[in-house]
């Protein structure tokens, strides 16, 4: 049983989240993972879209993906496209939140459930995670 989230942090207990970001200089994956874990989530992290896809293919349970958009090799748009074409329906409907530090022209795509601008407000990220997961749950 996961430890309770501290009273002053958003409650993400029971959620398994995948964080994908290649920014080794800023250690974005570590900051996001540490905060989301402190909120009670189980966090899987990947430093590339390819690493993220490996979790999408193999992790038994995922509730949402938080991904950077600008990554070498495969960017966040290509990553979400691969998720949306996944052979398992539960993966195709996985909520995906995009993080961006730039004014990308491809933000118009409807493949993402939400967009947040870097530097990310961590409390807003948690609220966004809760909202997109609730929106994707069947009634």
User: pLDDT tens digits for 58-77?
Assistant: 998 999 999 998 888 888 88
Q: What is the mean pLDDT of the chain?
A: 86
Per the rule left: phi > 0, alpha: psi between -120 and 50, beta: everything else, 59 is beta
38: CATH: 3.40.50.2300
Label residue 29 by pLDDT band (50, 70, 90): confident
**Would the pLDDT of 139 be above 60?**
no
**Would the pLDDT of 12 be above 70?**
yes
Evaluate whether residue 9 is within a structural domain. Answer: no
CA atoms of 84 and 112, how far apart (whole Å): 10
Evaluate whether residue 7 is within a structural domain. Answer: no
Split into its structural domains, the chain has a count of 1
Evaluate whether residue 62 is within a structural domain. Answer: yes
Evaluate whether residue 6 is within a structural domain. Answer: no
Evaluate whether residue 116 is within a structural domain. Answer: yes
Query: Beta-strand (E) ranges in the chain?
Result: 16-20, 42-46, 64-68, 96-100, 114-117
**Structural domain of residue 24, as residue ranges?**
16-136
Residue 50 vs residues 13, 45, 56, 68, 71: alpha-carbon distances, Å: 27, 12, 10, 13, 10
Neighbours of 92 (CB within 10 A): 11
Evaluate whether residue 61 is within a structural domain. Answer: yes
SS3 for 27?
A: coil
Evaluate whether residue 48 is within a structural domain. Answer: yes
Evaluate whether residue 5 is within a structural domain. Answer: no
């Amino acid at each position: 049983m996961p430890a309770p989230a501290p009273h002053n942090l958003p409650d993400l207990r029971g959620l398994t989240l995948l964080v994908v970001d290649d920014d080794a200089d800023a250690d974005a994956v570590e900051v996001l993972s540490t905060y989301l874990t402190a909120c009670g989530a189980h966090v899987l992290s990947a430093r590339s879209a390819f690493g993220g896809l490996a979790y999408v293919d193999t992790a038994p349970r995922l509730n949402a993906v938080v991904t950077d958009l600008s990554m070498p090799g495969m960017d966040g748009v290509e990553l979400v496209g691969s998720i949306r074409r996944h052979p398992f329906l539960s993966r195709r409907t996985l909520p995906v939140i995009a993080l961006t530090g730039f004014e990308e022209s491809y933000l118009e795509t409807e493949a993402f459930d939400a967009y947040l601008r870097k530097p990310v407000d961590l409390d807003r990220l948690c609220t966004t995670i809760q909202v997109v997961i609730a929106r994707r749950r069947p009634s």
